[in-house]
Structure 1
Amino acid sequence: MKRLIICFFALLAAWTGAQAQHPSANAINAKPQQFTLANGMTLIVQVDRRAPTAVHMLWVRAGSMDEVDGKSGVAHVLEHMMFKGTQSATGSTAPGEFSRRVAALGGRENAFTASDYTGYFQQIPASRLEDVIKLEADRFAHNRWPDGEFAKEIEVVKEERRMRTEDEPRALLYETLEATAFVASPYRRPIVGWMNDLDNLRPDDVRAFHRDWYVPANAVVVVAGDVKVPQVRRWAEQYYGQLPTRALPERKPRVEPPQAGVKRVEVKAPAEQAYVALAWKVPGLHNITNPSAEDWDAMALTVLAAVLDGYDGARLQRALVQGQGANAKRVADSAGAGNGLTGRGPQLFVLDGSPAAGRTPAELETALREQVARIAREGVSEAELNRVKTQWMAGEVYQRDSLFYRARKLGANAMLNLPLDADDRLLAHLRTITSQQVQSVATRYFGEDTLTVGVLHPMPPDPQRRSRPMGGMGGRDF
């Protein structure tokens, strides 16, 4: 946090001094442009001259989805190891040197691993963009580190798993829920990995994952900010475009088989409250340009989630937490809804919450399902739909004011093979979703055969369990 604040004020000072050179500072000057480099790597450039800063992101279409059983967590461990040094013909870097160099340039950097991809980013003064392109290209192609660095970092990852999953009851519930809901899909494995797999992971497992998937044709570079497109393209060709290419491993389809009945799982863990999560398998959005019937259903399900929980005082809040409405009784201390709209694998629609004092998880499950059943019976009002759509538009406009947000959206969409204008198309489509479409998906997707129920049963704290520090883990997760 201290580094972020220092860099923020440094960039703010640079921006203030450069106001006279940027008379159109409040305007976004161009639409994003996309190029394919000589070796198959994709480059996306978004010009935005509101401040003399730039965001550089490298995305690799390889996440936990690309792992195999027995090596779960390897994508995330590789993300950590990417900060541990390089070896190339032009020189080498030591562990931690990448971060020190970015800081010396006046920037900040980090990385993140997801199911579908891994990303690395730097936010720097625009004048230092070439330096970070050169650094990241070298790291992408020449990541090298000794076994001793792996031995230290794997312990960091294990501690991260303990703190973020094993010591977090709701995270533990969701890990168990996804492992139960999915049978064939690699989404059943946690991104951080199972502890047994981490115990048995070897340095060469991580090196092999890098060799297999960190291939130019499997990567996308996104640059956004106060830049010139021809110059960025020349730098990208110079540093990224010359990297050697090689064939990717064959991606075998791993289609999730149809579910044939409700699944239930219970987790006992030290916690203050019980918790309930209901997850239904639903279609995802794959074609935003010419949506199929399932694509439209995916968007209608997203609207349904927003009607239930998309603004202060939405249906779940009013009916279950506040206890408003005819014959209503307060059932929950919290209640929420969410739809997994996009991804390389199957998606889930989730309802969750904590029962109020004196209420049971079973009562909350019934109440949550009744809210969807009510929409299936009665539909939703135009006023509700309009409020949801207004909230979306306002939120999107606000978020687009962030250069980092726009770069991240471009990269994430590219990883899912969505077009550059996917967000504009999505908003346009969502604005057309009708009450009848929302009612239709509420009727068709919430039966027993696609449902997995997870219940957290609170237990008293274990007096033998050692306490853990509240500080960061020293890892590279965003």
Structure 2
Amino acid sequence: MPRPARQFFVSLRFARPGALRAPRSARTWLQALLLALALPWAVGAASAQTTERTLANGMKMLVIEDHRAPTVAHMVWYRAGSYDEASGRTGVAHVLEHLMFKATRTLAPGEFSRRVAAMGGRENAFTSRDYTGYFQQVHRSRLGEVMALEADRMANLVLDADEFAREVKVVMEERRWRTEDRATALVYEQLMAAAFVASPVRTPVVGWMNDLQSMTVDDARDWYERWYAPNNALLVVAGDVAPDEAFALAERTYGGIPARALPARKPQEEPPQRGVRRLWVKAPAENPYLLMGFRVPSLSDVERDSDPYALEVLAAVLDLDENGRLTRSVVRESRVANQAGAGYDMFSRGPVLFLLSGTPAAGQDAAALERALLAQVRRIAEEGVSEEELRRVKTQYVASRVYQRDSVFGQAMEAAGLESVGFSHRDADRVLERIRAVSPAQVREAARRWFGEDALTVVTLLPQPVENAGARPPAGLRH
């Protein structure tokens, strides 16, 4: 299961699978080396070309210059996601994301998207636990137009009860298709709900079905009025544009929207876990599946923290590519699993898990797979990682991140992602430097420190007979 540590729900109108998540590097060693040779130029380039300003209404803006092609990526990220939802209203952040494509005081339902399409542009939106984002990618000459469109729905969204009723049914169907009809997604959902008892990261981004069924248009309106303010938003423009030009356009479009008081965010600290948690999920599936989550720290201070960087490198040692230890040892050599993976995401406003997962091979069971996965972590804790292996893994890891900066969209996503979880876009290069500096001793210590039973939650899929095999998602819900 490819790195499910961060959960996104993307608008189903235009999205492609995986379009908003950085792919695991599958390039060859030679490609990684070539990218690594370019690293001294690439690391630092993004920060050096980024200009920052804050409008009078509190809206922060980043302009990332890249003049290789006459296009721009325009993004608005609101610092509000499912992490900010209250019990009984889960899924409202994602529902509002859908409703943002409906009517405003000046636009008919769907007209926003039609106008962007008429410009020859592409657009989409996505909701995560930490934020909700909207973007368009257009010719540089249309930047002012998409800014005006986005500013209009920031200030003038019309939430109609009939439109809401139709769209929330779409979200319910999305939940059925993406979660309830997918056994591994159900396992992940149950893992999060069991691993955490106080933090809202325990709830799914798409929401619980009962909450969606009882949701009203007033719930969506309340969310919009609480969080969709310029002083809670980040504007990023990346591509063929001069900073002064972009700032002037932003002043004309977003600058007139007044700031609003934002809700106070109270601490929601997770109490200590006091023993291993185990549960089983019965769902239609052809094969068993195992998902293990260890409670580990996320990154809170770029300079002072060390364990998150070591955990990130440990995940790469286990599962960066087809030569990772899990695939090499657990799949190809011992043949305990048909598939095995590891995942960790150190950037989050809330608590995080280090994930180990896999599908047992024929003749094996989930218990054997669990032992095999833990043995790989234990081996690193006992024997460590060689300098040579760590150098190869870090080179590929850093090269894959640098490669993502090749597109203006990737540059914008990186900067906005950091800013939206409490860091600065300027931290991007420093984070890579810290990753490159991780030592074998640090990886070994992370494997020793964070993988005890008291931090572990295990969910095992018990396959049930599969009916309606080959069912396809309903029309209109396909990426």
TM-score (norm 1): 0.89
Report what 2:38 is aligned to.
none
1:96 and 2:110 matched: yes
- Judged with a 3 Å threshold, the aligned counterparts in structure 2 of structure 1 residues 356 and 122 are, in CA distance, closer, same or farther, namely same
Residue from 294, 308, 314 that aligns with 1:280 = 294
Query: Deviation of residue 314 (structure 1)?
Result: 1.5
1:336 has 2:341 as partner: yes
CA contact 1:311–1:388 (8 Å) conserved in 2? no
- In structure 2, the residue matched to 1:160 is 174
Aligned to 1:314: 324
Give, in angstroms, the shift of residue 67 of structure 1.
0.4
The residue aligned with 1:392 is 397
Mean alpha-carbon deviation: is it higher for 126-135 or for 465-474?
465-474
Shift of 1:245: 1.2
> Structure 2 vs 1, CA of residues 118 and 3 (structure 1 numbering), >3 Å: closer, same or farther?
closer
- Which structure has the larger Rg? 1
Distance 1:41 1:368 in 2: 46
- Tell me how far 1:255 sits from its aligned partner: 0.4
2:14 and 2:124 in contact (8 A); partners too:
no
Matched with 1:18 is none
Which residue in 1 is equivalent to 2:314?
304
2:71 pairs, out of 41, 47, 53, with 53
Alignment coverage as a number of residue pairs: 441
Report the alpha carbon displacement of residue 471 of structure 1 after superposing the two structures with TM.
Answer: 4.4
- Tell me which amino acid in the other structure corresponds to 1:110: N
Whether 1:419 and 2:430 are equivalent positions in the alignment is no
Provide the residue aligned with 1:121 in structure 2.
135
Matched, 1:436 2:474: no
Find the aligned partners of 1:146 and 1:436 in 2 and give their Cα distance.
58
**Deviations along 1:314-370, whole A, 9 cap, x unmatched?**
1111111011xxxxx320000001112110000110000000000010010011011
1:469 aligns with 2:479: no
Q: Which amino acid aligns with 1:309?
A: D
User: Match for 2:455: what amino acid?
Assistant: T
* Structure 1: 4+ residue segments shifted above 6 A: 1-5, 26-29
Cα deviation, residue 472, structure 1: 4.2
Please provide the CA RMSD for this pair. 2.0
Higher alpha-carbon deviation: 394-403 or 114-123: 394-403
Give the Cα separation in 2 of the matches to 1:152 and 1:380: 54
- Give the match for residue 58 of structure 2: 40
Match of 1:9 in 2: none
Match of 1:326 in 2: none
Task: Provide the C-alpha distance between the structure 2 equivalents of 1:209 and 1:462, rounded to a whole number of angstroms.
Answer: 39
User: CA-to-partner distance for each residue in 1:172-221, whole Å, 9 max, x for gaps?
Assistant: 10001101101111000100000000000000000000000111111000
Identity %: 54
Q: 2-side partners of 1:158 and 1:196: how far apart?
A: 10
Q: Is 2:228 aligned against 1:210? A: no
Give me the whole-angstrom Cα distance separating, in 2, the residues matched to 1:204 and 1:223: 32
Structure 1: runs of 5+ lacking an equivalent: 6-25, 324-328
Matches within 5 A, 1:73-472: 73-87=91-105, 92-288=106-302, 290-291=303-304, 295-323=305-333, 329-462=334-467, 467-469=471-473, 471-472=475-476
Q: What amino acid maps onto 1:308 in structure 2?
A: L
Distance in 2 of aligned mates of 1:161 and 1:2: 15
User: What is the Cα deviation at residue 311 of structure 1?
Assistant: 2.2
CA contact (8 A) 2:316 2:397 kept: no
The verdict on how the C-alpha distance between 1:179 and 1:4 changes in structure 2, with shifts beyond 3 A counting, is closer
Q: Does the residue aligned with 2:341 lie in a helix, a strand or coil?
A: strand
Give the distance between the partners of 1:230 and 1:249, measured in 2 at CA: 32
What is the rounded CA distance, in whole Å, between the counterparts of 1:4 and 1:184 in structure 2? 32
- Note closer, same or farther for the CA distance 1:174–1:408 as it changes in structure 2 (3 Å cut): same
Q: Deviations over 1:227-251 (max 9, x none)?
A: 0111111111121121011100111
Q: Is the 8 A contact 1:4 1:108 kept in 2?
A: no
Residue 396 of structure 1 deviates from its aligned partner by: 2.1
Contact kept? 2:61, 2:236, Cα under 8 Å? yes
Q: Is the 1:38–1:242 Cα contact (8 Å) retained in structure 2?
A: no
Secondary structure in 2 aligned to 1:358? coil
Is the Cα contact below 8 Å between 2:81 and 2:130 reproduced in 1?
yes
Aligned AA for 1:317? T
AA at the equivalent of 1:365 = E
CA distance in structure 2 between the partners assigned to 1:199 and 1:173 by the alignment: 22
Counterpart-to-counterpart distance in 2, 1:338 and 1:2: 28
Deviations 1:31-74 (A, max 9, x none): 21111100001000001000000000000000000100000000
Question: Which amino acid counterpart does residue 257 of structure 2 have in structure 1?
Answer: L
Structure number with the bigger relative contact order (C-alpha 8 A, sep ≥ 6) is 2
In the TM superposition, what is the alpha-carbon distance from 1:419 to its structure 2 partner?
Answer: 1.6
SS of equivalent residue, structure 1 residue 255: coil
AA of the residue aligned to 1:220: L
